Amino acid sequence: MKEEKLQSLGINSLGEVHWNLTVPELVVASLKRGESILSSTGALSVKTGKYTGRSPKDKFIVDEPSIHDELSWGSVNKPISQEKFQLIYGKLMAYLQNRELFVFEGFLGKDPANRISLRVINEYAWHNLFVHQLYVRPEAGELEDYQEDFTIICAPGFKADPAVDGTHSEAFILVSFEKKVVIIGGTSYAGEMKKSAFSLMNYLLPKKGIMPMHCSANVDEEGNSALFFGLSGTGKTTLSADPTRKLIGDDEHGWSDEGIFNFEGGCYAKTINLDPKHEPEIWGAIRFGAVMENVILQPDGTPDFDDGSLTENTRVGYPVHYISNAELSGRAGHPGVVIFLTADAFGVLPPIAKLTPQQAMYHFISGYTSKLAGTERGITEPEATFSSCFGAPFLPLAPQIYAKLLGEHIAAHGSRVYLLNTGWSGGPYGVGKRISLPYTRRLVQAALSGEIERSEFVTDPIFGISVPKSCEGVPSELLWPKNTWQDKSAYDKQAKNLAQRFIDNMNKLSDVAEDIKAAGPKF
Q: Which residues are catalytic?
A: 54, 195, 214, 232, 236-237, 251, 315
> What's the sign of the alpha-carbon dihedral 61, 67, 68, 74?
negative
**For residue 427, what is the enclosing H or E element?**
none
Burial 112-122 (b: 16+ CB within 10 A, else e): eebbbbbbbbb
215: nearest Cα among 229, 194, 205: 229
- How far apart are the C-alpha atoms of 297 and 309, rounded to whole Å? 11
- How far apart are the C-alpha atoms of 353 and 31, rounded to whole Å? 50
The torsion defined by the Cα of 292, 293, 295 and 297, in degrees rounded to 10, comes to 60
419: nearest Cα among 296, 505, 519: 519
- How far apart are the C-alpha atoms of 404 and 228, rounded to whole Å? 18
347 dihedral zone (left: phi>0; alpha: psi -120 to 50; beta): left
CA distances to 52, 188, 191, 229, 291 from 294, in Å? 7, 11, 12, 26, 10
358: nearest Cα among 398, 403, 313: 403
- How far apart are the C-alpha atoms of 407 and 43, rounded to whole Å? 41
- How far apart are the C-alpha atoms of 228 and 385, rounded to whole Å? 18
106: nearest Cα among 120, 126, 122: 120
Residue-wise DSSP of 131-168: HHHHSBPPPTTTTTT---SEEEEEETT----HHHH--S
- Going by the DSSP 8-state scheme, the letter that residue 115 receives in this structure is -
